Amino acid sequence: MPLRLSVGARWALRYTLAMAATLAVFAIVVQTVAKQRSDEAAKLLARTQATELLDALETQARVGTAEEYERWCAAHIARRVAQADRELELGVRLLGFDGRLRHEAGTLRGLSVVLPPEVARGRVPLAVFSGKLGARGRFFVASSTAPGGFLQVAVSTRHWSEGLAKLRNVMLGAFPLMLLLSGASGFLLARRSLASVDEITRIADHLSSANLHETIPVTGSGDELDRLAVTLNAMLGRIRSGVEQMHRFNANAAHELRTPLHRIGSMLDATLSQPRDAAAYREALLDLRAEVNALGSGVNALLRLAQMEAGLDPAHTGPVELAKLLRTQAEFFAPLAEAREIALLLVEPLPDATVRGDASWLERLFSNLLDNALKYGRAGDRVEVTLRIEGDRARATIADTGPGIAAEDLPHLFERFARGVGHGERGGFGLGLPLAREIARAHDGALAVESEVGRGSRFSVLLPLLRAETALGPRTEPARRRGASARTRRGHEGALRRR
Ligand code: ADP
């Protein structure tokens, strides 16, 4: 079974591992550099000792006889070794040109140290090399030619080795403590940072539609977790308003459907309250039919709204020629316009404007707008349908000279079940405009309205034009991409008073 560690423990472990790796690298670098430096120092010391001694030997060789020189050498070497720092464990040896030992003192006594061939052959005056001298440890030995033979001076590295060992011990002692500290601080840091995550988890745990008012505390530090809290609060806000909207929608839908049902019930009661003749029953049945039709159209409108919210079906989307669609709609509504004595005009020429979408949904969008214009218009009014190209968008306008919409109603116009004052009796459910707006948005477009009481209303539908390359390219699903374009002209998109 995999080991389950808390985030705090994982952070502590990671901190410790990272710290261990850092300390290991640090220790290796420090040791390497320190060893290099100490070697350089020991080597320099061996060389200095050798050159100083050589100077003295050469001076002495020039002034005295050979015997005097030899005697002086023995005494001088012994004195030099005796006076040197004990820690250096200085050793000096003088050899003849044939390799015969002439004098020696200090460490080198009794030990044989090879004379480097380049010095023995006289190619270089002085050479320094390092090596182990038996149990005495590592030494640097400087070898050079000297009057009457060769000189060898050995300097121990023990002093520096001990320093390095001390450094190593200090590091080995301090490192576990540092690892412990970094692990503990990693753990505490994680615990502190995750305290707000715990709070988010707690709130999310007992969040339900009943207590959506809860918010995650924001500390104001502006750090990542604070930003997360702000984002989650904003998300909660959106969910809250969505749920409230849903509650309102359910209540309104129930209310709207109850009214015709209530009327149907009253009609049935009235009809059945006394015996009637066949003609009276028929008349009652026709009235009932009309009520059932109205109820059916309300239920259908709700259904269509729900369908549109689920998005367009990609299988039914394709290029749609708006000019053709508007012509068909105008022809369809012509008889109704004539019956209501309203002039319905297509403002020619209609430009070529192809959009990607679902033709039947777009037909419904325009038929809702035309239906309203004719429904609320009065005899003698005009309804004009225009189509224009604006950059990469098409603008279709349905403008009427009808009664117009009250300024206070405009902000609520697109809200479900909203109807203008005095328009409730004209048999609508207040779902036509919300559906029209949903259709426009599902096509990455927008629906906007301008209206003035007594002068008329103008509904504008903005839809992105289909470019040649996208017409041939793979299909996208516009319904799920309700981006900025859909929100550009929301001038009066909103909701109308609910009744
Ligand atoms: P319905 O027509 O079923 O009432 P809609 O959503 O289509 O619902 O319209 C909502 C309200 O907007 C209408 O009740 C009406 O008051 C107003 N309205 C819509 N179109 C027009 C128009 N062309 N002229 C005047 N008022 C309109």
Distance 162 CA to ligand 1 centre (A): 97
Distance 372 CA to ligand 1 centre (A): 6
Best probe residue, ligand 1, of 305, 344, 371, 376 (max atoms within 8 Å of C-beta): 376
Distance 414 CA to ligand 1 centre (A): 9
Q: pTM higher than 0.85 for the full model?
A: no
Q: What are the φ and ψ backbone dihedral angles of 12, each rounded to 5 degrees? A: -60, -45
Q: What is the mean pLDDT of the chain?
A: 86
Best probe residue, ligand 1, of 297, 305, 382, 423 (max atoms within 8 Å of C-beta): 423
Q: Report which of 97, 186, 111 is spatially closest to residue 149, judged by C-alpha positions.
A: 97
How many Å apart are CA 156 and CA 138, to the nearest integer?
6
Most confident of 110-124, 161-175, 248-262, 411-425: 161-175
pLDDT band at 132 (very low <50, low <70, confident <90, very high): confident
Rg (CA), the chain: 50
Q: Around Cβ 489, how many Cβ atoms within 10 Å?
A: 19
CA dist 343 → 322, 349, 366, 379, 381 (Å):
21, 18, 17, 9, 6
When pLDDT is averaged across residues 285-290 and rounded to a whole number, the result is 92
Tens-digit pLDDT profile for residues 21-49: 999 999 999 999 999 999 999 999 999 99
More confident residue, 357 or 64: 357
**Residue of the nearest CA to atom 7 in ligand 1?**
432
Tens-digit pLDDT profile for residues 186-215: 888 888 877 878 888 888 787 776 777 888
In the structure, how many helices (H) and strands (E) does the chain have?
Answer: 12, 12
**Residue of the nearest CA to atom 21 in ligand 1?**
372
Which spans in 274-425 are helix H?
278-309, 322-339, 359-376
The structure tokens listed for 415 are: 């809200």
How many Å apart are CA 83 and CA 106, to the nearest integer?
11
CA dist 448 → 2, 155, 249, 410, 439 (Å):
59, 97, 22, 10, 13
How many Å apart are CA 102 and CA 73, to the nearest integer?
9
